[in-house]
Amino acid sequence: MRTYTFIIGSADDFEGIEDLRDYVDQRGRSGDLNCSLHEFEAPEGCDEETVTMIGRGIAFSNDWCMDHTFSFITEDTK
């Protein structure tokens, strides 16, 4: 299994993905802006599209949506 984090943030609070990425790098889970981090595991053989769909499914199940958001996936490389 591999561990990933799906990161999603509101377009009202972020200019783009790089802005969201910088914010999460600096503040992590403790920031004040509207974003969310969802950690999950996926099997070794999952391609990038499948991993993204899993991350979106988790975020969308937690009241996020595609409209007016930016999102990306990171892989835990510990």
pLDDT at position 78: 57
**pLDDT of the residue at 30:** 84
Residue 32 burial (10 A CB sphere; 0-12, 13-18, 19+): exposed
9 - beta bridge partners?
35, 70
- The pLDDT tens digits along the chain (78 residues) read 999 999 999 999 999 999 999 999 999 888 899 999 999 999 999 999 999 999 999 999 999 999 999 999 999 865
- Determine the pLDDT at residue 31: 82
Residue 41 contacts residue 2 (beta carbons within 8 Å): yes
